[in-house]
Chains A and B, each alone.
Chain A
């Protein structure tokens, strides 16, 4: 997942020259080569990484591990380099993020290479005339497969970590593919349903995040096993239902994320805000791991009675309000 470091490289500007590829931190050699070959796509990859991190932080905002990133490599600290649930989620959301962002860029015409699904297999304008084209999701997924999975593939897909990562990457992309919305439009005589055209539209990325979060909560712990000569992952507890392509799998159990432990890249929960009334994981009891919490009264300036435009302009009055903020010890 080191390539997610791309998201942090906002200073680089747009990736438009081959030399930039070499300078990008976190990419392995094969990815640098891909970068050089697909320069125009790299901006979307970066956008995908940003999307993934934003979504991860949104989904985990109330948990002990809140998907916080470091400014150094590895991006998420050691947690994600181990085979934990959290790692499973990060891999899934990041491969989904790339597929999403590339597909989107295709639809807005930023990429020359795609534009119409069929060109993945090398189509022609003739093909476009004959069969039209669907959403560009196939290109996005294919690119995500070749770019994100390359790390695991180059190691040889034999280690159980590689198998786990590949599985979770695929699960992330499946979260998009299986949640595509089918939309239809009738356009017969006077708009009657004599002719009907249907197409598939990508779900909003928030939806993808929600799906993956659910999968995270129901993730399966697996271990490696050999069936014939191929190595596969099977549930550790054989009484559990075997996992499907869409489920997340993990190998190691997660730490409790309570204490600050830089060696393992765990930031700990001290200093985190918590919810005094909640009994769930965002409640102070659980969040602070029983260490107790401070309560401060803080005056916050909020915007109120705002007038919004659909974009870019907000006229508000500042309002002062006193709120209690609870932070973990």
Chain B
């Protein structure tokens, strides 16, 4: 939603913070058409307030919007003798207020003095000819709020001038301030919530079932089983529709919380892939402990920790001051970049490890496959099952990842060539829900298919005995195959295909 700020004149001599200036409606402020008028009336910069009311007339904000994000755009005109300085900084005195009733008083939410860097370019040569043309300025992050609990919001912006301290000097001729508000569509939120509410119990049920299967076993659960279970937990954690509460309560930390939940899930998923590969290595190494994977899991931990710190710095501080942005200061930008780069390096490192492990597994598989006919029936079955389930997971993981990447690219491209119509927006929303549903299904299938089978327990036991007695395969006990796995898998694959 684009908003145009209205230039108000603060007529009171000493600027008390108690009064709010309304851009329109009853008792709106005294407006300025443009600044030529201000010059002729000898109004000073400090007396001008840019006021924005959110939303526009005859609309209401609602908690279904989930969050509000505002960016600011300055219209700065070029003047020969009032040029924009290099690396100019603009100082904003901003305050935000709310009310739930058209006639109540405004209550202040936040007030801050913020400094933003101006990054502007000028397309035409700086001659007298092109005076009055506008600079091309990057938009500035302005504000972010994690909940929309009130109906009406009001933003008042001042650009105080202090020549001695060099505040707001050399920022060119600011003509207008425009704000663009972004919030989640209420309709999308409803669909999203419905989906989460539906998915939570289904994942929860399969999780309970899975855990029951594991506890039915006489042995302690192995690492892979634990990891799958942890993956289920983190999925459930993401799924639990705590957002319902945001409709009723003013919880601004919802955005941060959502980020953390997502981060945990990603970290879990990445660790799962590594451990899954490791457990199918079919070599003599004893793993079955998380410490055996420190090299691979380490980067994940470091990376997600970095992102967590970064997120805390950005969104965490925004809980206190919605106008805060880490990118506005020199140090902050460097810090943020550092965190992101470290996280990026960790991710690269992780993928290197993963690719290496997958390669190793495939090498082992081809090695084992050639010696398969020579093995005893039990061992052959065991290896065939191992190979099959590895390949199967590999396939669906790749498929899911490819789908995600494709959808991501498509959504980016379609927005690049934006058409304002219902269709484009809904397609993107459909992408997001689709991807989300897909990963849910992935976790669901994982728990369903890789649950240890109680039916073949005895056979597995004998397998294990066989392995131990031959003294070769210590890991046999750790990877219990279920011989009827394939049929179950096929059943599900058919079902998926039908869907």
Contact = CB atoms under 8 A, between A and B. Distances in A.
Contacts of B45: 309-313
A109 B56 contact: yes
A308 B82 contact: yes
B349 to A, nearest CB: 19
Given A185-B69, A303-B81, A310 B62 contact: no
A133 interface: yes
Contact of A58 (B35, B132, B139): B132
A49 B69 CA distance: 35
Nearest to B69: A187
B187 A196 contact: no
Contacts of A190: 259, 307, 310-311, 314-315
Contacts of A197: 182, 415
A310 B132 CA distance: 14
Contact of B35 (A104, A130, A136, A311): A311
Contact of A312 (B44, B59, B311, B422): B44
Interface residues of A, number: 53
B43 interface: yes
A183 B172 contact: no
The CB with the most chain B CB atoms within 10 A, among A109, A112, A135, A185, is that of: A109
B35 A196 contact: no
Nearest to B326: A191
Nearest to B124: A210
B412 interface: yes
Nearest to A191: B314
Interface stretch (B161-169, B201-209, B472-480): B161-169
Given A108-B3, A129-B185, A190-B310, A309 B57 contact: no
Contacts of B262: 189
Contact of B171 (A193, A198, A206, A310): A310
A131 B185 CA distance: 6
A308 B139 contact: no
A321 to B, nearest CB: 14
B484 interface: no
Contacts of A185: 69, 71, 139, 180, 182
Contact of B59 (A125, A136, A307): A125
Contacts of B58: 112, 115, 125
Interface of B: 1-6, 23-24, 33, 35, 38-39, 42-45, 48, 53, 55-60, 62, 64-65, 69, 71, 73, 75, 79, 81-82, 132-134, 139, 159, 161, 163, 168-174, 178, 180, 182-183, 185-187, 258-259, 262-263, 307, 310-311, 314-315, 408, 411-412, 415-416, 418, 420, 422, 425, 432
> Which 4 interchain pairs have the tightest Cβ spacing?
A129-B186, A115-B56, A130-B187, A108-B4
Given A104-B4, A196-B412, A204-B134, 7 more contacts: A58-B132, A131-B187, A201-B73, A308-B79, A309-B45, A309-B168, A312-B43
